[in-house]
Amino acid sequence: MKNILFAMGMAAFLTACDDAASATDNTPNKNQDNAEVQGDLSSDSEVMAQSSSSRRESIGSSNSADQLSYCKTETEDNCEYGTVIDDRDGNTYKTVKIGSQVWMAENLKFDSDSIKSECYGYQAENCEKYGRYYLWHTAIDRPEKECGHGDTCSLPQGNIQGVCMKGWHLPSKDEWETLLETVGGKLTAGMILKSQSEWYDDKNGVDAFGFSGVPGGRLQDNSYFDNKGFMGEFWSSTEYLGPFTSSTEYQNGGAYVMFLHYNNENAAIVHELKYFGLNVRCVKD
């Protein structure tokens, strides 16, 4: 079993990723509450410390001096939306401004003969809801022999357009961090950014800023899909170079992702294996 990398020793709060799950399996595996979680430790360990109920109270409280002004509620939606057309294939995407950043409010669907990507379960209709799944070297638009699993990739400074359309780029780890801070911090960012539907066991988000993070799951080993409904992972352009776990597999490094989970109201920046197929959200230059 290959478990995702997450905060140290917080297994009781996350579910396991069952490598044997089929692409159409909508039931959590029996070991989900016993996950081994590792990774980006220093900034995320305290995120897991509070109970789900206390976090939910903090989101809904109107008495907090730090209460954010959410642009989307159960009764109205005043978020600053827009659209962008991808000239490469004609796809139109909803966008949303969150703080100083402008994000795609849905997952990228771009595909071409030179850009290898897949739809969940290899079924084209799933691309409309969840977008396409890209290996990391594809997401950053670099050859696998240079930036694939086990390779340290030399990327230029500044924005990495990657698979994104002109004028947009694959977000860096720092840009994901900025988003989580803008919406109130990692402790509640999962509930704030998750979509209002599609999450397992009706553990949906409030989508308070219109980001609409969907639980697309992932493509494992470029061969099969799992965890749709349970988690969403979104690539960054930032490579992970250590420290490494004792697992030989993970000693080959990886890349950072923004991670959402159905059973958590927090969000986290963690590192993931480069040969997983994950979703892409682009951010405006």
Q: Give per-residue pLDDT as tens, 60-89.
A: 443 333 457 899 998 999 999 999 999 999
pLDDT of residue 180: 98
Q: Residue 69: phi, psi to the nearest 5?
A: -95, 100
- How far out from the chain centre does Cα 46 lie? 20
- Whether 23 shows a pLDDT value over 50: the answer reads no
Contact 256, 270 (CB under 8 A): yes
pTM of the complete model: 0.79
Average pLDDT over every residue of 169-186: 98
Burial profile 98-117: b = 16 or more Cβ within 10 angstroms, e = fewer: beeebbbbbbbbbbeeeebb
Closest of 200, 202, 217, 229 to residue 19, by C-alpha: 217
* Helices and strands: H and E segment counts in the chain: 7, 10
Compute the radius of gyration of the chain from its Cα atoms.
18
If one compares 64 and 224, the residue with the highest pLDDT of the two is 224
Average pLDDT over every residue of 167-177: 99
